[in-house]
C-alpha cells in the first residue's frame, strides 16, 4: 500500500464509515423514504445519513475547516484557508433504482486550490484517491490516464441535462459531434466516477455542463495526478461555471475542438 498522508487517512476513514450505511440502505432500496428536490433530482434518507457521517468525521479530525456540501450547502469554518467539498451520494438516481453505480466524493481545498480527493465506489469497494504532487491511486495501484491519441479509438463519458434544466440544445449538438468522431459515448449517471474512470484510463475523456463543485472537485485532483488535463470547455473556471472537460494531454484539445464544432 502506498504511503497515505494523515489528511487522506481522515478522508478515507470518513468515506468508508459513511459507505457502511449506504451499503445497507442499497440492499433495502425499496424501503427508503424518498422526497423530491426538483426535476429528476431525488434525495433520500441515505443521502442525509451519509452526509451527516462525513460531516461528523471530518469535523472531529479537522475542527476548524469549512464545508461545501450538497445537502447542507456552505458552512464557514474558523480556518478560512481550508474547505471540504463533499457529495455524500453521487449517483442518487442510480442508487434509488437499484443500479450499483454510485459513490461518495470528498475533496479538500486549500487557499482556493484543490489538493486532495477521495472517491469511493461503495458496491465495488473501489477506493480512488489522490493528493497534489503524490499521484493518483485505485486502492493500492497507481493510476495513469489512457495513452490514446486518436479520437476514432477513444471512448468518452458525459452527462445528460435533467428534465427542465437548461442546456439540452447545447448537449444534443455536442454529443452528435463527439459520436461522429469517436468509438463511443457513455452516460453512467455519476460525474465523480466518470472522472475517476478517466484517471484510471477506463474512459479516455469526459465532459459535462451544469455540474456543481462537489460533482467535480475530487475527480479533478485524481485526473490531474494521473497525468491528465481538467479544464472548462469554454476556457473559464470549471469550479465556478460547472462545465468540465477531462482527458489526456493529447485528446483534451481534440475534444475541446470537437465540442466547438471543429
Do 78 and 177 share a domain, yes or no? no
H or E segment at 12? Answer: helix 6-27
Please tell me the pTM assigned to this model. Answer: 0.94
CATH of the domain at 218: 3.40.190.80
Any domain includes 1:
no
- Contact call for residues 70 and 214 (beta carbons, < 8 A): yes
128 with 190, same domain: the answer is: no
Angstrom CA distances, 220 to 26, 131, 206, stand at 27, 11, 11
Give the pLDDT band of residue 2 (cuts 50, 70, 90): confident
The 10 Å CB-count burial string (b at 16+, else e) for 3-24 is: ebeebbebbbebbbebbebbee
Indicate the SS3 state at residue 144: coil
Average pLDDT over residues 140-157: 98
Q: Are 89 and 22 in contact (CB under 8 A)?
A: yes
The span from the CA of 251 to the CA of 262, in Å, is 14
Q: Is residue 175 part of a domain?
A: yes
22 plus 134 within the same structural domain: yes
User: What does the pLDDT read at residue 38?
Assistant: 58
- Residues 191-248 have pLDDT tens digits of 999 999 999 999 999 999 999 999 999 999 999 999 999 999 998 999 999 999 999 9
Instruction: For residue 20, report the phi and psi dihedrals to the nearest 5 degrees.
Output: -60, -45
Q: How many domains would you assign to the chain?
A: 2
207-220 tens-digit pLDDT: 999 999 999 999 99
What is the grid cell recorded at 177? 459531434
Domain containing 24 — which CATH number? 3.30.540.10
Same domain, 63 and 109: yes
Q: Parallel, antiparallel, or unpaired: how do β-strands 34-38 and 244-247 relate? A: unpaired
**Residue where one domain finishes, among candidates 114, 142, 170:** 142
Distance CA(183)–CA(179), nearest Å, equals 7
Domain of residue 93: give its range.
Answer: 6-142
Mean pLDDT taken over the chain: 93
Contact between residue 128 and residue 196 where contact means Cβ atoms under 8 Å apart: yes
For the chain, the distance separating the N- and C-terminal CA atoms, rounded to the nearest angstrom, is: 44
Amino acid at each position: 500500500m502506498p504511503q497515505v498522508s494523515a489528511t487522506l487517512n481522515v478522508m478515507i476513514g470518513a468515506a468508508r464509515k459513511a459507505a457502511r450505511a449506504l451499503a445497507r440502505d442499497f440492499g433495502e432500496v425499496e424501503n427508503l423514504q424518498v422526497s423530491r428536490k426538483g426535476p429528476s433530482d431525488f434525495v433520500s434518507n441515505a443521502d442525509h445519513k451519509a452526509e451527516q457521517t462525513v460531516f461528523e468525521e471530518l469535523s472531529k479530525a479537522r475542527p476548524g475547516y469549512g464545508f461545501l456540501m450538497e445537502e447542507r450547502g456552505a458552512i464557514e469554518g474558523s480556518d478560512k484557508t481550508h474547505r471540504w467539498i463533499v457529495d455524500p451520494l453521487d449517483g442518487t438516481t442510480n442508487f434509488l433504482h437499484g443500479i450499483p453505480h454510485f459513490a461518495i466524493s470528498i475533496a479538500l481545498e486549500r487557499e482556493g486550490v484543490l489538493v486532495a480527493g477521495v472517491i469511493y465506489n461503495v458496491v465495488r469497494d473501489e477506493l480512488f484517491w489522490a493528493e497534489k504532487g503524490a499521484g493518483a491511486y485505485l486502492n493500492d495501484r497507481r493510476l495513469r490516464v489512457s495513452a490514446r491519441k486518436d479520437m476514432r479509438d477513444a471512448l468518452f463519458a458525459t452527462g445528460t441535462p435533467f428534465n427542465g434544466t437548461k442546456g439540452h440544445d447545447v448537449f444534443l449538438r455536442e454529443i452528435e459531434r463527439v459520436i461522429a468522431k469517436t468509438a463511443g459515448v457513455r452516460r453512467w449517471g455519476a460525474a465523480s466516477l466518470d472522472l475517476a474512470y478517466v484517471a484510471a484510463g477506463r474512459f479516455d475523456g469526459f465532459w459535462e455542463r451544469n455540474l456543481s463543485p462537489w460533482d467535480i472537485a475530487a475527480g479533478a485532483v485524481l485526473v490531474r495526478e494521473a497525468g491528465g488535463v481538467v479544464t472548462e470547455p469554454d476556457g473559464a473556471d470549471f469550479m465556478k461555471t460547472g462545465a468540465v472537460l477531462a482527458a489526456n494531454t493529447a485528446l483534451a484539445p481534440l475534444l475541446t475542438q470537437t465540442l466547438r464544432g471543429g
